[in-house]
Amino acid sequence: MSNTILVTGATGNVGSQVVQQLVASGIMPRVAVRSMNKAESLKKAGAEPVEMDLERPETVQSALTGVEKVFLVSPFVPNMVELTAILIETAKRANVQQIVKLSALAQPGIALSKWHSEMENAITSSGISFTFLRPNGFMQNFVNAMAETIKSDKAFYLNAGDGKVSFVDTRDIASVAVAALITSGHEGQSYTITGAEALSHAESASILSQVLGRTINYVDVPEDVVRQGMQGAGMPEPTVNALLELYASYKAGQAATVSPVVEQVTGKQPISFEQFAKDYAEVWQ
């Protein structure tokens, strides 16, 4: 199977873990990068880098040549549905046999769910075999999006209220993805992927406090303040609106569902938030 699995989003939260776990399984994945500047580090990790930019369809065709399966992470941009359609059509022409797509927890009435549903429908209509992964919020967001203020302010800021979220470790998402890529029986499946418990952000802050040995606070801030911060950071308005809808769904308790998928697929219990915090403790020091 060497060189027949293409991993997109290979340097991101989930894609990087998929690459690591495929390599650990003895497989050299082909990994798509927008710039070959990252090629050397990926080669050292045991992967085969290939340039692919969804804005340049010719690079997509080249990257998919000879590929049997694709782990698909769509870029989080306003035209993600249209860009993903380019990859799907090219994959069909390239005779790709399976797409394992990273989607998101299905929640009614929010743009993110709508966009992912449209992309899933396009894959289904293509006739390519699929596995859809629908994870809840990533534990690693506490590292990538909140580490700076956790270190400087001993706090993190969000407008999620007291709603509980069954946060999931990206390592568990990747384990399910790799199982779908290298073992049979996952074709046509849609997996809701969560951690083993639902926690409010205040409860998460309490666990971080215990692990780090100092008080970490969760500060629930007004939506308009969060909006201004995102706009100030240059986020496109559709992205801002989509994220605020997501946080509102957290506040409403729509992300508290707990799924047994991680254990069912991998045979292992999901990584707990406490274990996640211990594993990444140095990031917040």
What is the residue whose two structure tokens read 């990790």? 45
Q: Looking at the whole model, is its pTM more than 0.85?
A: yes
Handedness of CA 153, 232, 277, 281 (dihedral sign): negative
Whether 231 shows a pLDDT value over 90: the answer reads: yes
- Residue 1 — pLDDT band, cuts 50, 70, 90? very low
Radius of gyration in angstroms for the set of CA atoms belonging to the chain, rounded to a whole number:
19
Whether 36 shows a pLDDT value over 90: the answer reads: no
In the beta sheet, which residues pair with residue 192? 134
Helices (H) and strands (E) in the chain, counts: 13, 11
117-130 tens-digit pLDDT: 999 999 999 999 99
Q: Are 113 and 107 in contact (CB under 8 A)?
A: yes
pLDDT at 206: 98
- Residue 82 — pLDDT band, cuts 50, 70, 90? very high
Determine the length of the chain. Answer: 285
Whether 2 shows a pLDDT value over 50: the answer reads: no
Q: Are 139 and 167 in contact (CB under 8 A)?
A: yes
Averaged pLDDT for residues 8-13: 91
* Three-state SS sequence of 157-223: EECCCCCEECCECHHHHHHHHHHHHHCCCCCCEEEEECCCCCEEHHHHHHHHHHHHCCCCEEEECCH
Tokens, residue 18: 């998929």
- Please, what's the largest Cα pairwise distance for the chain? 55
Averaged pLDDT for residues 206-229: 96
- Residue 276 — pLDDT band, cuts 50, 70, 90? very high
155-175 tens-digit pLDDT: 999 999 999 999 999 999 999
38-72 tens-digit pLDDT: 778 888 889 999 999 998 999 999 999 999 999 99
Q: What is the DSSP string of 111-162?
A: HHHHHHHHHHHHHHHHT-EEEEEEE--BTTHHHHTTHHHHHHTSEEEE--TT
3-state secondary structure of 26: coil
Handedness of CA 145, 23, 51, 103 (dihedral sign): negative
Query: Secondary structure of the chain: what % helix, strand, coil (to 5)?
Result: 45, 15, 35
40-49 tens-digit pLDDT: 888 888 999 9
Q: Say which amino acid occupies 257.
A: T
Q: Where are the domains of the chain?
A: 5-135+170-193+258-265
In the beta sheet, which residues pair with residue 51? 33
Could you tell me what percent of the chain has a pLDDT over 70? 99
Q: What is the mean pLDDT of the chain?
A: 95
Helix (H) or strand (E) run with residue 34 in it: none
What CATH superfamily is the domain 5-135+170-193+258-265? NAD(P)-binding Rossmann-like Domain (3.40.50.720)
**Separation between Cα atoms, residue 199 and residue 132, nearest integer Å:** 25
